[in-house]
A and B are shown apart, each in its own frame.
Chain A
């Protein structure tokens, strides 16, 4: 996961890249080493930031719900002291906080690439896990003891 966030955090203008669970719990936080927040005194803790961003997305989902719109896949909030860019990643949210001088559109491609890398990373672990789950699925009704021959049809049944 570190390798996924590393390239994002290294882009000039990116202050922080985070991977956050949908409930707002941070999975991975990567601070940019060369970027200094202009208002360091006001910097929000990454954990709070993750929770607030996830909460905001939930609120947006609720707001667009009456129009039968699905959950937004990419959300951008450009503000006076920076921008927040958030996209859906497999089972999580990928967030980036960027400096005001950087356009959030510049992050579109790198963030989408990061999501693709995540999907690629998760694929080998997901596939073996998915296959047995289908195979061992319990039947809805209790099964009969296995008969060796052809299953008796309704016509064969004699009283």
Chain B
């Protein structure tokens, strides 16, 4: 940057800081953060945005700026670390790169990094990093195979890192989140052998002791997670506050008036709202949609495609378009292809029901 530009931007920064001091507002914080970002000072941009967020929590612009600044900063550091690895690879660099990739949600890259690290050094920490990446992948995708592979890696890491509680703690976390209480209890016991007197683990051990009687086996628990897409510590859609049928029904009714639409359906747990077909046909239609959503969610995870966002079936029966959400799913059965507008409305409907259910928790 030339001297003149630096001088001008310096005066602009001073000006914006003064504005912020005189009249603090989300806009003035955003303007200062933006100026730092323009100058390439991402750490400062993030700091200003976070400071603004403390005063104005929930401001979307400041939140976006903070996240973006951090991401850009992380990208820059990632590039530096990759360069350093090419020149002089060593465990500390791999570790930092791995942590950075995990923090930025690039799980596959993180796992590749851990694999390279392990191949180069055979270090137990690298094996643990591989297991951690695979666990993260499982917590995102809920694929049974990922969990099994993560447990295999954790077993290998345990052997390499004798008397290190980290693999056991990670294993315990995995078992608890899938609801494999028997295995979790056993692992908590092993943790206590390594760290006797840890109050948290002791409390966990006691609660697991009480839960293990009716516990499913590990395989069954993993199968259930893959099928439902929900970990045990996540609330079930039925236990959360439900959006009233009065809010959804008019939307379904309106969709049903569109030309060619035969049925508009919303399913959530065992509850279903159907506009169009009546009586037994309505019940069958809702059941079909529920099954299609369930099977497709499982298929998407097993195919390695992640969370299912949209499902479309076309045939002699017409077109069935399903928009699965976190809590429920909305579907439209029509004679002709579903228009982009209706698809968006379906997605909005599932998003709306998810957000209204989360409101009471906030």
Interface residues of A (CB under 8 A from B): 38-44, 49, 52-53, 55-56, 59-60, 63-64, 66-67, 69-84, 97, 104
Name the residue on A nearest B284 (C-beta): A66
- B357 interface residue (CB < 8 Å to A): no
What residues of A have a CB within 8 angstroms of the CB of B107 in the complex?
39
- B295 interface residue (CB < 8 Å to A): yes
Cα-based distance from A64 to B311 in the complex (angstroms): 14
In whole Å, how far is B288's beta carbon from the nearest beta carbon of chain A? 5
Cα-based distance from A14 to B222 in the complex (angstroms): 31
A39 in contact with B304 (CB, 8 Å):
yes
A80 in contact with B307 (CB, 8 Å):
yes
What residues of A have a CB within 8 angstroms of the CB of B299 in the complex?
52-53, 55-56, 59, 77
A42 in contact with B304 (CB, 8 Å):
yes
- B1 interface residue (CB < 8 Å to A): no
What residues of A have a CB within 8 angstroms of the CB of B141 in the complex?
42
Name the residue on B nearest A43 (C-beta): B304
What residues of A have a CB within 8 angstroms of the CB of B291 in the complex?
59, 63
B315 in contact with A79 (CB, 8 Å):
no
In whole Å, how far is B153's beta carbon from the nearest beta carbon of chain A? 13
Interface residues of B in 283-311 (CB under 8 A from A): 284-285, 287-288, 291-292, 295-296, 299-300, 302-311
What residues of B have a CB within 8 angstroms of the CB of A42 in the complex?
108, 137, 141, 304
A44 in contact with B314 (CB, 8 Å):
no
What residues of A have a CB within 8 angstroms of the CB of B295 in the complex?
56, 59-60, 63
What residues of A have a CB within 8 angstroms of the CB of B137 in the complex?
42
A83 in contact with B305 (CB, 8 Å):
yes
B311 in contact with A76 (CB, 8 Å):
yes
Q: A77-B305, A80-B309 are in contact. Are A41 and B315 (CB under 8 A)?
A: no
Cα-based distance from A76 to B312 in the complex (angstroms): 5
- B112 interface residue (CB < 8 Å to A): yes
What residues of B have a CB within 8 angstroms of the CB of A63 in the complex?
288, 291-292, 295
A79 in contact with B302 (CB, 8 Å):
no
What residues of B have a CB within 8 angstroms of the CB of A55 in the complex?
299
Q: A39-B108, A67-B288 are in contact. Are A73 and B315 (CB under 8 A)?
A: yes
B310 in contact with A78 (CB, 8 Å):
yes
Number of inter-chain CB pairs below 8 Å: 113
Name the residue on A nearest B109 (C-beta): A41
Query: Of B111, B306, B310, which contacts A76 at CB under 8 A?
Result: B310
Q: A41-B111, A42-B137 are in contact. Are A82 and B315 (CB under 8 A)?
A: no
Cα-based distance from A41 to B143 in the complex (angstroms): 14
Q: Which 3 A-B pairs have the closest CB atoms?
A: A80-B306, A79-B305, A69-B317
16 new A-B contacts, CB < 8 A, other than A64-B313, A77-B300, are A39-B304, A41-B112, A42-B137, A43-B304, A55-B299, A59-B295, A60-B295, A63-B292, A67-B285, A70-B315, A71-B315, A75-B311, A76-B312, A77-B308, A78-B308, A84-B300
Name the residue on A nearest B313 (C-beta): A72
What residues of A have a CB within 8 angstroms of the CB of B315 in the complex?
69-74
What residues of B have a CB within 8 angstroms of the CB of A77 in the complex?
296, 299-300, 303, 305, 308, 310-311
B305 in contact with A81 (CB, 8 Å):
yes
In whole Å, how far is A82's beta carbon from the nearest beta carbon of chain B? 5
B304 in contact with A66 (CB, 8 Å):
no
Name the residue on A nearest B307 (C-beta): A80
In whole Å, how far is B248's beta carbon from the nearest beta carbon of chain A? 22
A60 in contact with B313 (CB, 8 Å):
yes
What residues of B have a CB within 8 angstroms of the CB of A75 in the complex?
311-314
A44 in contact with B317 (CB, 8 Å):
no
Cα-based distance from A49 to B137 in the complex (angstroms): 19
Can you list, as one digit per residue, whether each of B102-124 has a CB less than 8 Å from chain A (1) or not (0)? Answer: 00000110011001000000000
Cα-based distance from A25 to B306 in the complex (angstroms): 23
Q: List 29 A-B contacts (CB under 8 A).
A: A41-B108, A42-B108, A59-B299, A63-B288, A63-B292, A64-B313, A64-B317, A64-B320, A66-B284, A66-B288, A67-B281, A67-B285, A67-B288, A70-B315, A70-B316, A70-B317, A72-B314, A73-B315, A73-B316, A74-B313, A75-B314, A76-B311, A76-B312, A77-B296, A77-B311, A78-B311, A79-B309, A80-B306, A84-B300
What residues of B have a CB within 8 angstroms of the CB of A69 in the complex?
315-317
In whole Å, how far is B192's beta carbon from the nearest beta carbon of chain A? 34
Query: Of A60, A72, A76, A81, which contacts B304 at CB under 8 A?
Result: A81
A79 in contact with B307 (CB, 8 Å):
yes
B303 in contact with A52 (CB, 8 Å):
yes
A74 in contact with B300 (CB, 8 Å):
no
Name the residue on B nearest A66 (C-beta): B284
Cα-based distance from A81 to B106 in the complex (angstroms): 12
Cα-based distance from A63 to B286 in the complex (angstroms): 11
